[in-house]
Amino acid sequence: MDSTAAQPIGWGVLIAALGACLFAVGASLQHRAVSRNRTGPSIGLRSFMAAVRTRDWLVGGLFSGGGAILHALALGLAPLSLIQPVGVLALGLTAIINARYTGRRLSGTAMAAAALSTLGVTAFLVLAGSAAHATEVHHDSETAAGTMAGLAFALLAGLALLVGGWGRGLALSGAAGTAYGVSSLLLRGLTQDLSDGGIAALQLWSVAGLVTAWALGGWCMQQAYAAGPPHLAVASVTVIDPVVAVAIGVLLLGEASGASPWLVLAQVAAAALAVGSVIVLSSTAAELEGRPPPRTSAVLLSPCVDTCDR
């Protein structure tokens, strides 16, 4: 790869990293708003609308939106299977923000699981990037990816209805990660269409699919915030999202064509480490469930809890 080609890829990774940081802050703020307005392990429409009117949720939405915009820019500069795993940066930052807000420390097991999850996805990023190259997104690939992701989303969302506690939060954030993973393919395809032919070249059904994926993923994330701590939801999303996106990039777009079998096995092992670590992290999440936040705390963005966010 020559230096001219490497420059936009490097900028893409940098922009994606900044977007991941914005997402971590946004997720932490929105979790705070949802957890104070929920009724039980879920949040209904009326409670959700009350949360939406809070300062924390609105500011969190701005941060998350900014992260999404930066992510879209990054997808226009580098391969899908390289950009998606950069979101792992959000996991550690979210855990730090949540610990500072609640005034509680994560257990040793939780910290080890978060570290191993970060290590697994980082290894996945390095391995995927070593063989990744940008390819054209065709509309038949979008259709196939949307069908498979839709089935996986339905399965995880249905599982969330059958389980409770940390399992519910894990299933919901996994469903959100699936929706976000396929939305990256749609977003990359729309970016290419816009670059090739302008607004007239955009496919209406692709736009509708992208909006639907974002809406479903966003709603599942709000429910995951109500079911458990924010770092659990973010951990699941930062693992499932890139795994889905890389699988799409490899299987449907051919972004890793020519990769050796050993490299593929190493990627599978890294993904298994990341997924297993999130499962362990989710089993430790009960230590934070059901505990109200302290009335005074050192919060990253707003020092007041009860008076400043409504």
pLDDT band at 255 (very low <50, low <70, confident <90, very high): low
Q: Residue 279 in contact with residue 170, Cβ under 8 Å?
A: yes
Q: What is the mean pLDDT of the chain?
A: 76
Signed CA dihedral, 34, 232, 187, 61: sign only: positive
Q: Which amino acid is at 35?
A: S
Q: Residue 133 in contact with residue 2, Cβ under 8 Å?
A: no
Mean pLDDT in residue range 128-135: 63
76 contacts: CB under 8 Å, gap ≥ 6: 12, 188, 191, 195
Q: For residue 87, give the nearest of 143, 128, 58 by alpha carbon.
A: 128
> Rounded to the nearest 5 degrees, what angle is found at the Cα of 252, between the Cα atoms of 128 and 202?
110
The answer, yes or no, to whether residue 58 has pLDDT greater than 90, is yes
231: left (phi over 0), alpha (psi -120 to 50) or beta: alpha
Residue 44 has phi, psi (to 5 degrees) of: -80, 175
Q: Hey, how many other C-beta atoms are within 10 angstroms of the C-beta on 202? A: 13
> Rounded to the nearest 5 degrees, what angle is found at the Cα of 149, between the Cα atoms of 83 and 189?
50
Burial 113-143 (b: 16+ CB within 10 A, else e): bbebbbebbbbbbebbbebbbbbebeeebbe
pLDDT the model gives residue 136 = 67
- Tell me the CB-side half-sphere exposure of residue 114, using CA atoms within 13 A: 22
**pLDDT tens sequence across 195-247:** 777 776 677 777 888 889 989 998 898 888 888 778 778 877 877 887 787 77
**pLDDT tens sequence across 17-32:** 898 889 888 988 888 8
50 to 26, 38, 101, 102, 184: CA distances (angstroms): 17, 9, 21, 22, 30
pLDDT the model gives residue 31 = 87
pLDDT the model gives residue 54 = 92
DSSP letter assigned to residue 39: B
pTM of the model: 0.70
The answer, yes or no, to whether residue 191 has pLDDT greater than 60, is yes
89 contacts: CB under 8 Å, gap ≥ 6: 17, 20, 21, 24
